[in-house]
């Protein structure tokens, strides 16, 4: 494939991700509304919100790292999307692979952490300390999953992982071959998205939304965009590893929305765990399931 | 005279120069020029480094029928590049304002230059060693040279240095015993004779050799359980010295491990050494020692409240990745392990430089007494940012590439637990380095630091050069992998299939040029989105509020102490300090035995001894 084609795909893939991510945010709000017996927002509400935040009159910045942190948070995901294959487009998926992607999606978190740090608000710093602790917690089961999947398919190349699953159909999907790892992955997904019960780093009533405490205007708008990407990335990664990727756009989107609906539905009926309980929980059940699953995969 | 002779003689001349003019104001600059000369001479040997082969020194020495010889191969060259490069930048850093302040504070700048030059010279001698005897001589010289560098600050530094030298002596004794054993088996101290006799040895003899050499070299490397000396000894050394030691000094242990365990003995015989009643063999034992050397020191670093100590503990932890990659044994893992030596040297030196720049301007490295310096020292901040991304092993910095190779090799070799252990180490590092940069540069600026300025260019330049190397070799790892491939060939390991952008292999390649290009493209899109939004209004750094109250600048609200309180409630009880306990108990047992001996030979109870001797003498007379 020529360089130009790859570059065009690398531009298109984040765009797709953003649009799909907007609808995922909408779905999340709708699910929340229905669980709470409300109607929920209209179709384009997420887009209106972003436009509103970016065009606010009062834009408060605490310094250049505060701004660049947001740039890194959005930019890191824009780059990560180019590594996640979608039907018909592989982007640079073959130049990186699963391990690179795992570390790529830490860059937005790092950017956010640095940006929040410069705001000099103790609530923000506490939020970041908690968020990084949560990352240490959910990434342990997640890397067990990554190892298991890579071992099972004999590759870290996401394109090959998808092709291997699509060649055999649902019987060869990751979820049927490695159900324990799929379970551990779902647990890690919940933590990765930072949804209840793993939402202690936001904790609005306690540390005033933590990392978001000093964010307003386009800073908050950037975080909104980041959330769209985050939902999309988590869903598509799970679909790629366990549900055979997308044969076409219809099944791809159906699977992705189905995957991301699970943590959302759980989120709205759970309170939050405190940090130490979160760590204990994530290091216990998903890790045990993951290691057991790994033992089955590698026997 | 060969090119190697020139290099060694010029290095000796640098020592002489530091001895003669090190005290003068221009001494630092002159030494820097001499290090640049050494670097240029090393580049004359680049053929050895890039295309293999051996260059022999024309000088040799015969002691009691043992011939000592010196030579350079690709491995020596690779380590020598890092050594001289680190010394060059450390010397540059100390030559200007830093040295002036050090002298004004009563430090002996001449001794610092001398100790640095001696370190470089002895390291080159060690790297050039061609047989067991010259290896041992070089080893001892390196130990004493680094002792000189560590001890010179006095106080806490000399206590740490004395601890180091105790460990180093114990390690040297183990190596000496290993050499004696090798001499006993082979009848000579030449490598070739040793290699030829190896297949004839029994398993227990093999274990003995591996254990003695392995433990001896592990002391300098700071591998568990011999790591306790390192953090304090490195952290208490004056700035440029600490950066130099942190960058390369302990890697001399890795060099010796590579030469003796990997090159001479080889991984296959080590793998054949089984441990009875377990599934472990010699190779997996090495892997687990490496994994524990990653995890324990990293999580110890997480608890440090002194920036220098935090970095020094990470230095021990990162050593584990190097050994882990080498222990995995395949082309990718060993290349990753070797590349991590280079990568670690670059970002660790940059981080130490940045921390000591802050110490230079504020007088403290206590993580609870800093904060908000980003606006005061933006370049130091950026250097630290590049350094911590490298240390944490995230793209686009070079630390990511070497760690990626280690992870990938553990995946290919099917070592899931070692893989998870190494990733846990990385995650712990991310937590720890965020605390480092947050507590120093982010958060609240203290009132007394309001007038702090960026350090002068003589200190900024080496930092920026290192940061640039970290970034460039992260984007184009092929630059470093090229000499590494010839090191692998020289060691008889499988050679990694590298490209300029990374590694080319079936089932999951890496091309950092693309990855970084797309990442920076992503940042550009993020920036366009951000800066096309509404106009921002910048708030003064000290204009803040919390909990609905405006905070005046003299209210301290920096969140710094016990940064990961929630995590510590879970893992805090796991810190048992067992190694510290073990060290203390060995210390007190030795003390007890020592005082027993002392009271014996010092005749604390002369009348008792006199009586006992008289009784024994009478008994002797009577019995006979």
Tens digits of per-residue pLDDT, B132-151?
889 999 999 999 999 998 88
Query: What are the CA-CA distances from residue B546 to residues A197, A207, A223, B445, B536 (Å)?
Result: 26, 10, 21, 15, 21
Tokens linked to B255: 């060099």
Q: What is the CA radius of gyration of chain B?
A: 26
Residue among A61, A144, A222 minimizing CB distance to B538: A61
Name which of B24-28, B91-95, B458-462 the model is least confident about: B24-28
Residues from chain B contacting residue A107 (CB–CB below 8 Å): 394-395, 519
* Pairing, β B55-63 against β B549-551: unpaired
What is the Cα–Cα distance from B409 to B403, expressed in whole angstroms? 10
Average pLDDT estimate for B255-275: 79
pLDDT at A60: 85
Size of interface A-B (CB pairs under 8 A): 251
Q: Is A139 in Cβ contact with B442 (below 8 Å)?
A: no
**DSSP string covering B571-621:** HGGG---HHHHHHHHHHHHHHHHHHHHHHHHTTSSHHHHHHHHHHHHHHHH
Q: Is B395 in Cβ contact with A107 (below 8 Å)?
A: yes
Handedness of CA B357, B363, B368, B370 (dihedral sign): negative
Contact (Cβ atoms closer than 8 angstroms) between residue B363 and residue B102 = no
Q: How far is B520 from chain A (nearest CA, A)?
A: 8
Handedness of CA A117, A123, A126, A128 (dihedral sign): negative
Contact (Cβ atoms closer than 8 angstroms) between residue B68 and residue B137 = yes
Residue with tokens 């291997």: A164
- Closest residue, chain A, to B406 (C-alpha): A99
Q: Is B180 on the interface with A (CB under 8 A)?
A: no
Average pLDDT estimate for B83-94: 93
> Could you give phi then psi for residue B2, rounded to 5 degrees?
-100, 175
- Per cent of chain B over pLDDT 90 is 38
Q: What is the CA radius of gyration of chain A?
A: 19
Average pLDDT estimate for A111-129: 89
Three-class SS state of B330: coil
Average pLDDT estimate for A235-245: 91
What is the Cα–Cα distance from B21 to B13, expressed in whole angstroms? 12
Nearest CA among B19, B17, B53 for reference residue B38: B17
Mean pLDDT (chain B) is 88
Residue A95 has pLDDT above 90, yes or no: no
Q: Is B411 on the interface with A (CB under 8 A)?
A: yes
Contact (Cβ atoms closer than 8 angstroms) between residue B294 and residue B425 = yes
Q: How far is B499 from chain A (nearest CA, A)?
A: 12
- Closest residue, chain A, to B415 (C-alpha): A147
Which candidate in B435, B446, B533 is best for mutational testing of the A interface (most A CBs within 10 A)?
B533
Mean pLDDT (chain A) is 89
pLDDT at B265: 81
What is the Cα–Cα distance from B236 to B359, expressed in whole angstroms? 12
Residue A142 has pLDDT above 90, yes or no: yes
pLDDT at A202: 77
ipTM attached to this prediction: 0.93
Average pLDDT estimate for A36-42: 90
Q: How far is B222 from chain A (nearest CA, A)?
A: 25
Q: How far is B371 from chain A (nearest CA, A)?
A: 9
Task: List % helix, strand, coil for chain B (3-state, nearest 5).
Answer: 70, 5, 20
- Measured from the Cβ of residue B547, the count of other Cβ atoms closer than 10 Å reads 10
Q: Is B340 on the interface with A (CB under 8 A)?
A: no
pLDDT at A139: 92
Average pLDDT estimate for B74-100: 91
Which has more confidence, B601 or B11? B11
Confidence grade of residue A270 (pLDDT, cut at 50, 70, 90): confident
C-alpha angle A255-A258-A264 in degrees, rounded to nearest 5: 145
Average pLDDT estimate for B159-163: 89
Residue A246 has pLDDT above 90, yes or no: no
What is the Cα–Cα distance from A105 to A103, expressed in whole angstroms? 5
Residue among B442, B522, B533 minimizing CB distance to A75: B522
Residues from chain A contacting residue B508 (CB–CB below 8 Å): 97-99, 150, 155-157, 160
Name which of A32-46, B305-319, B542-556 the model is least confident about: B542-556
> A170: which residues sit within 8 A by CB, 6+ positions away?
A176, A244
Residues from chain A contacting residue B441 (CB–CB below 8 Å): 117
Helix axis angle for B3-21 and B109-127, nearest 10°, is: 160
Instruction: List B residues 485-504 in contact with A (Cβ-Cβ < 8 A).
Output: 501
pLDDT at B546: 65
What is the Cα–Cα distance from B494 to B436, expressed in whole angstroms? 38
Nearest CA among B363, B352, B544, B591 for reference residue B445: B544
Helix extents (H) in B94-152? 99-104, 109-127, 132-151
Q: Is B563 on the interface with A (CB under 8 A)?
A: yes
pLDDT at B142: 92
Three-class SS state of B470: helix
Q: Is B514 on the interface with A (CB under 8 A)?
A: yes
Residue B119 has pLDDT above 90, yes or no: yes
- Closest residue, chain B, to A119 (C-alpha): B443
What is the Cα–Cα distance from A102 to A96, expressed in whole angstroms? 10
Name which of A12-16, A65-69, B186-190, B475-479 the model is least confident about: B186-190
Residues in chain A: 299
Confidence grade of residue B623 (pLDDT, cut at 50, 70, 90): confident
Handedness of CA A195, A200, A201, A203 (dihedral sign): positive
Q: Which helix (H) or strand (E) holds B62?
A: strand B55-63
Residue B277 has pLDDT above 70, yes or no: no
pLDDT at B279: 67
- Closest residue, chain A, to B376 (C-alpha): A63
Could you list the beta-strand ranges (E) of B479-594: 498-499, 502-503, 510-511, 537-538, 544-546, 549-551
Residues in chain B: 624
pTM of the predicted structure, to 2 decimals: 0.92
Residue B510 has pLDDT above 80, yes or no: yes
Confidence grade of residue A181 (pLDDT, cut at 50, 70, 90): very high
Residue B176 has pLDDT above 80, yes or no: yes
Query: What are the CA-CA distances from residue B580 to residues A246, B292, B295, B424, B440 (Å)?
Result: 54, 15, 16, 23, 28
Confidence grade of residue B547 (pLDDT, cut at 50, 70, 90): low
Residue A203 has pLDDT above 80, yes or no: no
Helix extents (H) in chain A? 3-35, 45-54, 64-81, 98-104, 107-118, 122-153, 158-168, 174-177, 179-192, 204-207, 217-242, 249-267, 275-298
How does A128-158 read in b/e, with b if 16+ C-beta sit within 10 Å?
bbbbbbbbbbbbbbbbbbbbbbbbbbebbbb
Contact (Cβ atoms closer than 8 angstroms) between residue A62 and residue A117 = no
Which has more confidence, B619 or B271? B619
């Amino acid at each position: 494939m020529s360089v130009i084609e790859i570059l065009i795909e690398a531009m298109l893939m984040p765009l797709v991700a953003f649009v799909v991510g907007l609808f995922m945010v909408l779905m999340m709000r709708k699910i929340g509304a229905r669980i709470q017996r409300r109607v929920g927002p209209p179709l384009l509400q997420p887009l209106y919100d972003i436009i509103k935040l970016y065009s606010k009159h009062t834009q408060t910045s605490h310094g250049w790292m505060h701004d660049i942190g947001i740039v890194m948070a959005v930019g890191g995901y824009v780059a990560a999307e180019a590594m996640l294959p979608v039907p018909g487009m592989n982007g640079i998926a073959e130049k990186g692979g699963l391990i690179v992607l795992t570390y790529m999606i830490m860059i937005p978190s790092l950017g956010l952490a640095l940006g929040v740090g410069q705001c000099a608000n103790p609530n923000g710093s506490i939020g970041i300390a908690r968020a990084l602790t949560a990352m240490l917690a959910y990434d342990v089961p997640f890397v067990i999953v990554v190892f298991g999947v890579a071992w099972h398919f004999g590759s870290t190349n996401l394109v090959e992982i998808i092709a291997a699953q699509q060649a055999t159909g649902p019987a060869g999907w990751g979820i049927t071959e490695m159900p324990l790892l799929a379970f551990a992955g779902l647990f890690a997904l919940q933590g990765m998205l930072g949804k209840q019960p793993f939402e202690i780093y936001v904790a609005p009533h306690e540390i005033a939304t933590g990392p978001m405490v000093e964010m307003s205007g386009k800073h908050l708008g950037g975080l909104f965009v980041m959330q769209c990407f985050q939902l999309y990335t988590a869903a598509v990664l799970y679909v790629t590893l366990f549900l055979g990727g997308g044969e076409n756009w219809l099944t791809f989107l159906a699977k992705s929305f189905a995957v991301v609906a699970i943590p959302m539905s759980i989120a709205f009926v759970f309170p939050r765990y405190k940090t130490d309980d979160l760590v204990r929980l994530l290091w216990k059940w998903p890790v045990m399931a993951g290691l057991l699953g790994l033992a089955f995969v590698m026997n | 005279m060969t090119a190697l002779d020139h290099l060694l003689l010029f290095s000796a001349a640098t020592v002489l120069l530091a001895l003669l003019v090190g005290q003068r104001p221009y001494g630092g600059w002159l030494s820097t020029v001499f290090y640049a000369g050494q670097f240029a001479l090393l580049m004359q040997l680049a053929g050895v480094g890039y295309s293999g082969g051996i260059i022999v020194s024309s000088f040799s020495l015969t002691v009691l029928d043992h011939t000592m010889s010196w030579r350079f191969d690709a491995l020596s060259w690779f380590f020598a590049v890092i050594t001289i490069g680190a010394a060059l930048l450390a010397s540059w850093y100390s030559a200007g304002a830093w040295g002036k302040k050090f002298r004004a504070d009563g430090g002996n700048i001449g001794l610092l230059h001398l100790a640095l030059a001696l370190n470089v010279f002895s390291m080159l001698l060690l790297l050039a060693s061609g047989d067991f005897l010259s290896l041992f001589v070089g080893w001892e010289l390196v130990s004493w040279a680094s002792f000189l560098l560590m001890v010179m600050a006095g106080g806490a530094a000399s206590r740490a240095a004395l601890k180091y030298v105790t460990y180093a002596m114990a390690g040297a004794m183990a190596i000496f015993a290993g050499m004696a054993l090798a001499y006993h088996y082979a009848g000579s101290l030449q490598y070739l004779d040793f290699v030829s006799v190896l297949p004839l040895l029994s398993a227990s003899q093999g274990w003995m050799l591996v254990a003695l050499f392995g433990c001896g070299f592990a002391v300098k490397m700071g591998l568990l359980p011999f790591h306790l000396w390192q953090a304090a000894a490195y952290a208490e050394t004056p700035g440029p010295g600490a950066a130099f030691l942190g960058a390369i000094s302990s890697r001399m242990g890795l060099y010796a491990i590579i030469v003796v365990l990997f090159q001479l003995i080889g991984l296959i015989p080590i793998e054949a050494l089984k441990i009875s009643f377990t599934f472990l063999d010699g190779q997996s034992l090495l892997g687990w020692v490496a994994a524990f050397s990653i995890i324990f020191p990293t999580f110890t670093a997480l608890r440090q409240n002194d920036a220098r100590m935090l970095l020094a503990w990470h230095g021990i932890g990162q050593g584990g990745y190097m050994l882990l990659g080498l222990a995995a044994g395949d082309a990718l893992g060993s290349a990753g392990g070797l590349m991590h030596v280079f990568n670690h040297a670059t970002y660790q030196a940059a981080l130490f430089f940045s921390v000591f720049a802050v110490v230079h301007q504020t007088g403290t490295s206590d993580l609870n007494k800093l904060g908000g310096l980003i606006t005061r020292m933006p370049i130091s901040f950026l250097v630290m940012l590049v350094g911590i991304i490298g240390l944490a092993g995230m793209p686009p910095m070079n630390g990511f590439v070497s760690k990626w190779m280690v992870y990938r090799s553990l995946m290919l070799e099917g070592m899931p637990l070692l893989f998870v252990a190494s990733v846990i180490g990385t995650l712990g590092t991310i937590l720890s380095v965020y605390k480092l940069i947050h507590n120093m540069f982010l958060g609240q600026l203290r009132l007394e630091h309001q007038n702090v300025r960026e350090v002068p260019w003589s200190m900024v330049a080496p930092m920026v050069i290192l940061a640039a190397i970290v970034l460039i070799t992260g984007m184009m790892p092929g630059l470093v992998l090229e000499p590494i491939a010839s090191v692998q060939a020289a060691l008889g390991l499988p050679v990694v299939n590298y490209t300029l952008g990374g590694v080319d292999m079936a089932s999951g390649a890496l091309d950092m040029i693309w990855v970084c290009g797309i990442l920076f493209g992503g940042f550009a899109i993020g920036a366009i989105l951000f800066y096309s939004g509404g106009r921002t209004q910048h708030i003064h750094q000290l204009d803040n509020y919390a909990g609905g109250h405006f905070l005046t600048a003299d209210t301290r609200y920096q969140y710094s102490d016990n940064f990961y309180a929630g995590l510590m409630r879970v893992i805090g009880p796991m810190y048992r300090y067992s190694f510290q306990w073990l060290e203390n108990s060995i210390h007190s047992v030795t003390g007890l035995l020592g005082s027993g001996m002392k009271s014996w030979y010092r005749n604390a109870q002369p009348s008792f001894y006199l009586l006992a001797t008289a009784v024994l003498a009478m008994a002797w007379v009577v019995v006979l």
